[in-house]
Structure 1
């Protein structure tokens, strides 16, 4: 056998090994992807979105309307929260850090966020108070499903 034909043979064997490896990796990836693929038509939803999906159509519209109204009523607070977060980012990006001003901006952002959360939670509580017991049960199960899944995942780790 001549030297060029030995090199050619070695290149062909190396190419064959690389191709076998690539095909195996592609098939393994495809298998993993298909194994963990959600069911057709299933939409992964969490928290309030999942809860909305569990409610009857008229209740969904009612809750969406209530949340929309709460958002409109609290628009100035939402704007203030966004501005406070922007101010925090600007303070952190400044060449020198003014710690007192940063603390004040963080406090404004935290206060606005907590106030907003409190108001949206109150809206959700008002909505829940208008539901019959069976619909409240569905709402509670849908809203805690993700938390329970996360708690189980943490326990496994």
Structure 2
């Protein structure tokens, strides 16, 4: 090989290595920048158990105990709802579609889901009866942030498009 060939190979190798190092450095920067933001981002606390965050630790424990009891009491309803959803999926995938059986399975699933929700909502209402008026206000604010009563985040404003002429 001539000197010119060696020089071209060396220059090509140099350019390739610089390209590789730049890609590795850019990827590392992106990875660390993304993971750093994820680690610093506050956790979304939207589960119902976080609705009492503004109350004392004793009240929080009281609420969690009531919630656990309601869910324990509604365990059979949760199982029925799961089984009903599996049955609905099986009926939908069946080669012969049976609308009557599907409607019945949907009704059983819906009834189980409503019964479970009723247990949990009764637990929330029972807990609210033990609160002082100030605590109830804090609890209501907590429910706006967590659980089934939480308010959706505000929608971003829509951009106005110019009318087509």
TM-score (norm 2): 0.75
Q: Which runs of 4+ in 1 moved over 4 A?
A: none
Q: Which of 8, 20, 25 is 2:27 aligned to? A: 25
- For 1:13, the equivalent position in structure 2 comes to 15
C-alpha distance in structure 2 between counterparts of 1:89 and 1:8, whole Å: 63
C-alpha distance in structure 1 between counterparts of 2:24 and 2:18, whole Å: 10
How far 1:43 moved relative to its partner?
Answer: 5.3
C-alpha distance in structure 1 between counterparts of 2:139 and 2:62, whole Å: 14
C-alpha distance in structure 2 between counterparts of 1:115 and 1:97, whole Å: 28
Are 1:67 and 1:120, in contact at CA under 8 Å, matched by a contact in 2?
Answer: yes
Gaps of 5+ in 2: 159-165
Are 2:49 and 2:64, in contact at CA under 8 Å, matched by a contact in 1?
Answer: no
The DSSP-based 3-state class of the residue aligned with 1:97 is coil
The DSSP-based 3-state class of the residue aligned with 1:54 is coil
TM-score (norm 1): 0.78
